[in-house]
Amino acid sequence: MPITEYLERNAREFKDEVALVEINPEMQEAKHVTWREYALIETNPSDPGRKELTWGEFDKKANRFANLLLSRGVRKGDRVAILLMNSIEWLPVYFGILKSGALAVPLNYRYTAEEIKYCLDLSDSSVLVYGPEFTGRVEEITDRIPDIRYQFYVGEDCPTFSESYDKLVTYCSSKAPQIPLTDDDEAAIYFSSGTTGFPKAILHAHRALVHSAKTEQAHHGQGRDDVFLCIPPLYHTGAKMHWFGSLIAGSRAVLLKGVKPQWVIRAVSEEHCTIVWLLVPWAQDILDAIDRGEIDLSEYELDQWRLMHIGAQPVPPSLIKRWLKVFPHHQYDTNYGLSESIGPGCVHLGVENVDKVGAIGKAGYGWEAKIVDENGREVANGEVGELAVRGPGVMLCYYKDEKATNEVLKDGWLWTGDMAQCDEDGFIYLVDRKKDVIITGGENLYPVQIEDYLRRSDKIKDVAVIGLPDPRLGEIAAAIIELKPGVTCTEQEIDDFCRELPRYKRPRKVIFAEVPRNPTGKIEKPVLREKYCHGRLVEAQTTH
């Protein structure tokens, strides 16, 4: 059954119960009251700090947008792009697209105007839904996207080159359109993170969306009383597919517009959140704020918080050990996945395996996983190879890119590009991205291993290790280190700290600088290589 049927079931069975809450802490703080008090006193409906949406209202909004699309000639198989910041409108828009039979095409809110155009063209989108934060970027390309027949603007002060979503949906029917959908129908196009250049368009069927929901609930056991705090961007498979567990359970979710540690803890307390999905930097920021005395946990109601889980990137074991010292009663979990595998869950640690922190786990619910050499043969335990996964959530293809599809889809297996190894108990550990492996003097260096070691230092906030060209060794390992606020450190201190590492694994260059991460928490190593490698490459070529 398509994912839309879960929404319709919730609208029938839990019509008047709250499905979504949107919180804007900046607006709330201006009033110096709690978020619930703010919701009661706010009189401007277009600009509240806290909004709620029931399951019944959610379904009606989705139906209205679906009927608007159908009234404009959008048909099954058409593509509708979404360019919105996290908001209470995001998911109704997404489900409205699915209900119309069209494909949802979520776009990264950090895309430049040219990247937006590129993705609209690549996905063959014919409709664009966007918010006020993107007016300038859309205006820049509006004359160069002729295939976009309609632009719907969500918000006040609609620009002249678009139509007002808010006004138009008011006049559309709230009854569900009778568009037949099957598991085999195409449902959505997601874009790769673009860490290797322009993003690829990842095509998924409805089957994949439903399987991601079942996988999430199987892993985390969401029930009717759970409350999920959603902070990461909804355009990404990770955040949305974790929320799908709440959809199946018919339970509430809170969309928090901001990542400050105090906001996260306060949201958990005041909204009685039970499940929180964090990215590595956010978890670290929360712990640092507690250490500095900026957050006093005794001032908050946190007893109901049962699970903190992390994904989207390698998770330093030292971070989780530190977290569990501060929150000893929390369950911890990590889910591994890619947009090509419909987000998190194809490999899963499991809350019962906290003794294996550092591993990404075993094959998730309904999935298979193996580690293979370059010829596709499984490697022995302890050997490094490429992780491959197979299951109902594997993408159909990279849209309009047969060559790239054939490089990663082989006999039903998705080759992830992640290098990994398996221990004697069958738990999988990430070693590094295949493209990030550094070859120095004939030895393979895996940056994640060096990064995990460096993060043990109480002076380091974040670190990225990349390869720099070297005339003698081919490449050397360079550590870009972001220090904690107010901390000083020297290259010699880092060198001394690394004495326990084998000599060939020690960074040969240390750079103190900010470590850039994309909205899903992944380190932007191409940005670092572009910034620091060029001069070295010229130097190496000149030396030769």
The 10s digit of each residue's pLDDT in 283-334 is: 989 999 999 999 999 999 999 999 999 876 667 788 899 999 999 999 999 9
Distance CA 235, CA 171 (A): 27
Considering the domain 4-299 in this protein, what is its CATH number? 3.40.50.12780
Task: Note the pLDDT of residue 194.
Answer: 52
Task: Note the pLDDT of residue 107.
Answer: 95
Distance CA 212, CA 397 (A): 17
The 10s digit of each residue's pLDDT in 341-396 is: 998 899 999 999 988 988 999 999 999 999 999 999 999 999 999 999 999 999 99
Structure tokens at 81: 């792009």
Q: What is the DSSP string of 86-131?
A: S-TTHHHHHHHHHHTTPEEEE--TT--HHHHHHHHHHHT--EEEE-
Strand partners of residue 475:
469
Percent of the chain surpassing pLDDT 70? 91
38 vs 468, residue with greater confidence: 468
Tell whether the model's pLDDT for residue 197 goes beyond 70. no
Percent of the chain surpassing pLDDT 90? 70
Contact 416, 385 (CB under 8 A): no
Place of tokens 């195409």: 186
Structure tokens at 334: 């990590």
Query: HEC profile for 175-211?
Result: CCCCCCCCCCCEEEEEECCCCCCCCCEEEEEHHHHHH
544 vs 159, residue with greater confidence: 159
Task: Note the pLDDT of residue 518.
Answer: 73
Tell whether the model's pLDDT for residue 517 goes beyond 70. yes
**Number of neighbours of residue 488 by Cβ within 10 angstroms:** 8
Task: Note the pLDDT of residue 415.
Answer: 96
Q: How many CA atoms lie within 13 A of 533 on its CB side?
A: 15
The one-character DSSP state at 484 is P
Tell whether the model's pLDDT for residue 47 goes beyond 50. no
Distance CA 365, CA 370 (A): 15
The fold of the 307-433 domain, in CATH, is Luciferase; domain 3 (2.30.38)
Nearest of 36, 340, 335 to residue 190 by alpha carbon: 340
Tell whether the model's pLDDT for residue 522 goes beyond 90. no
Rounded to two decimals, what is the model's pTM?
A: 0.83
Burial 319-332 (b: 16+ CB within 10 A, else e): bbebbbeebeebbb
| Mean pLDDT, rounded, for 471-487 | 86
Contacts of 393 (CB under 8 A, 6+ apart): 204, 208, 211, 212, 215, 341, 342, 343, 345, 346, 366, 367
385 vs 504, residue with greater confidence: 385
pLDDT band for position 530 (cuts 50, 70, 90):
confident
Task: Note the pLDDT of residue 536.
Answer: 47
Q: Is 296 exposed, middle or buried (0-12, 13-18, 19+ CB in 10 A)?
A: exposed
Tell whether the model's pLDDT for residue 528 goes beyond 60. yes
Nearest of 81, 101, 125 to residue 182 by alpha carbon: 101
| First-residue to last-residue Cα distance in the chain | 62
The fold of the 437-543 domain, in CATH, is GMP Synthetase; Chain A, domain 3 (3.30.300)
63 vs 432, residue with greater confidence: 63
Task: Note the pLDDT of residue 541.
Answer: 35
Identical fold between 307-433 and 437-543: no
Task: Note the pLDDT of residue 459.
Answer: 92
Name, of 83-92, 454-463, 530-539, the range with top average pLDDT. Answer: 83-92
Contact 290, 326 (CB under 8 A): yes
- Each domain of the chain, given as residue ranges in start order, spans 4-299, 307-433, 437-543
Tell whether the model's pLDDT for residue 238 goes beyond 80. yes
Structure tokens at 358: 């550092």
Q: Could you give the angle at the alpha carbon of 498 between the alpha carbons of 497 and 502, nearest 5°?
A: 155
pLDDT band for position 45 (cuts 50, 70, 90):
very low
Count of residues for the chain?
Answer: 544
The 10s digit of each residue's pLDDT in 89-121 is: 999 999 999 999 999 999 988 888 998 999 999
Q: What is the DSSP string of 331-350?
A: EEEEEEEEGGGTEEEEEE--
The 10s digit of each residue's pLDDT in 448-458 is: 888 888 988 98
Q: How many CA atoms lie within 13 A of 483 on its CB side?
A: 13
The one-character DSSP state at 365 is T
Contacts of 125 (CB under 8 A, 6+ apart): 79, 80, 81, 105, 119, 147, 148
pLDDT band for position 402 (cuts 50, 70, 90):
very high
The 10s digit of each residue's pLDDT in 28-43 is: 666 666 656 655 554 4
Per the prediction, the chain carries an average pLDDT of 89
Q: Is 446 helix (H, G, I), strand (E, B) or coil?
A: coil
